[in-house]
Amino acid sequence: MSAITMTGLSASDAEEVLMQVWLLLEEHQVASPEVAVKPLSNHLQIRLRFRSEEDVDLIRSELKDWAKKSGLHALSFIAR
């Protein structure tokens, strides 16, 4: 399995990110990932585990573009 891990999220930012992930999954007909949300001091970490590296690359790229357009500067991705 391959994963996308995002950190530095407030609760409201995490909600926005998860909503956007599900819109992208539907748009690109990607199977739902395994989702884990972990509290880290004053922010949240979200890990999405996908079945394929291609799905990870697609969703990560789309999320990065969306975050820039949305002004969600707190979103950071942990390298694989």
> Which CATH number goes with the domain that contains 25?
3.30.70.600
pLDDT digits (tens, 9 = 90+) for 23-32: 999 999 999 9
pLDDT band at 68 (very low <50, low <70, confident <90, very high): confident
User: Buried b vs exposed e over 9-47: b needs ≥16 C-beta within 10 Å?
Assistant: beeebbebbbebbeebbeeeebeebeeeeeeeeebbbbb
pLDDT digits (tens, 9 = 90+) for 30-67: 999 999 999 988 999 999 999 999 999 999 999 989 98
51: DSSP letter: S
Report pLDDT for 19.
95
Q: What pTM was computed for the model? A: 0.87
- Is the confidence at residue 1, as pLDDT, over 80? no
Q: CA–CA separation, 50 vs 4, rounded Å?
A: 8
Q: CA–CA separation, 78 vs 80, rounded Å?
A: 6
42: DSSP letter: T
Per the structure, how many domains does the chain have?
A: 1
Range of the domain at 44: 2-78
